[in-house]
Amino acid sequence: MRVAEQTWPELDSYISEESLAVVPLGSTEQHGPHLPLSTDHLIAEAFAREATDRTGYLCTPPINIGVSPHHRQFHGTMWVDAPVFRDYVESLTRNLAYHGIDRVIYVNAHGGNVEHLREVGRRLRDDETLYAIEWMWNESIPELVDTLFEQNGPHGGPKETAMIQYLQPELVSTDRLADARDEGLIEFTDDNTRRFGSRTFYDAIDNTNNGVLGDQTDATPEKGEKMFESATEQLVKLCRWLDRQTIADLMPKDHV
C-alpha cells in the first residue's frame, strides 16, 4: 500500500490493523558517464514498492536527496548536510509514529546514508518513540553479488549498472560502459585507498576520475533481475519478521 495513492480513510483502516511502514531512501548524485543521477533512489523505491506490493505493508514516498558531499565535484550531484538529513528523517519518522506506526524499515540504496540512518534509529528507539532499522539491498545478498561480478565496485559499478539495466534500461548509456570502466577505478582495495591503517581520502574524485568503480561491462539486465528478486525476498522476510515482534521486545532493555 502506497501512502500517496490512498485516501485518509483507507489509511485509517490500515493503521487500525498494522503498524509497520517502509521508507525508501537514496540520493541524487553522479553515477559515472553511464548511469543517471537518480540511480540510488530509483533502486530504493523499486525495492520498497515491490516488497510492500507483495506483503500489503505501507510504503511512503521516497527521500531522493541524501548525504552525498563526497560526490560534489561532479555536475548535478545534490546533497544535504548530515545533521540536516538526520533531523529531516527523524522528523518524518516521528510523523509516522504520530499516525500509529511503531516500526519502520528504511529501505536505503545509498552508502552515504547508512551511518546517519542508524543514528536516527537509535534516537527514536532510545526515547521509545518507535523501532526503526536500515536495510540496504546489496548487503542482504552479498554472496550472490560476489558470485555474479568479479569486480562489483561499491559505486556506479556493475551491480548498480545491472540493477538499472533491469529496472529502467532506457536510462543506461550502454555505449559508455567501457568508458566508465577504463576511466574509473576497477579495483577498490585497501592498497589503493588507505595508508598505514588510515582512510586517507574524502571524496570519490580522490580515487576515480569519472566517479565510479568496478567493471561496468560485466553488467547485464539478467544479473540485475537475479539480484532484484533475491534481495526483494530478503526484504519481504525482514518485513514479516519485524511485524511479528512485540514492540516491548524491540525497545531498550532496562539497566542491569
Tell me: the pLDDT tens digits for 43-95? Answer: 999 999 999 999 999 999 999 999 999 999 999 999 999 999 999 999 999 99
Cell numbers for 149, please give them: 561480478
Residue 190's pLDDT is 67
Instruction: Check residue 206 and report its DSSP letter.
Output: G
- What is the gyration radius of the CA atoms in the chain, in angstroms? 19
H or E segment to which residue 133 belongs: strand 131-136
Closest CA to 18 of 109, 105, 90, 86: 105
Closest CA to 69 of 90, 91, 84, 88: 84
Burial of 126 (0-12, 13-18, 19+ CB in 10 A): exposed
Give me the helix-helix angle, 114-126 and 82-98, nearest 10°: 40
Cell numbers for 228, please give them: 532484484
Instruction: Check residue 253 and report its DSSP letter.
Output: P
Residue 132's φ and ψ, nearest 5 degrees, are -130, 135
pLDDT at 237 over 90: yes
CA 186 centroid distance within chain: 22
In one-letter notation, the amino acid at residue 210 is: N
CA 192 centroid distance within chain: 26
pLDDT at 125 over 80: yes
Tell me how far apart the alpha carbons of residues 194 and 198 are, in angstroms, rounded to a whole number: 5
For 163-219, write each residue's pLDDT tens digit.
999 999 999 999 999 999 999 888 876 677 788 888 888 899 998 999 999 999 999
Could you tell me which residues are beta bridge partners of residue 22?
Answer: 59, 105
pTM: 0.94
Residues in the chain: 256
Residue 55's pLDDT is 97
- What b/e string do you get for 207-221 counting C-beta neighbours within 10 Å, with b at 16 or more? ebebbbbbbbebbeb
Could you give all domains of the chain from N- to C-terminal order, each with its CATH number?
3-250 (3.40.50.10310)
SS3 254: coil
For 220-229, write each residue's pLDDT tens digit.
999 999 999 9
The region of weakest confidence among 113-117, 123-127, 212-216 is 212-216
Terminal C-alpha separation, the chain:
41
SS3 255: coil
Measured from the Cβ of residue 83, the count of other Cβ atoms closer than 10 Å reads 11
Residue given cell 526484504 in the structure block: 235
- Determine contact, residues 101/21, Cβ cutoff 8 Å: yes
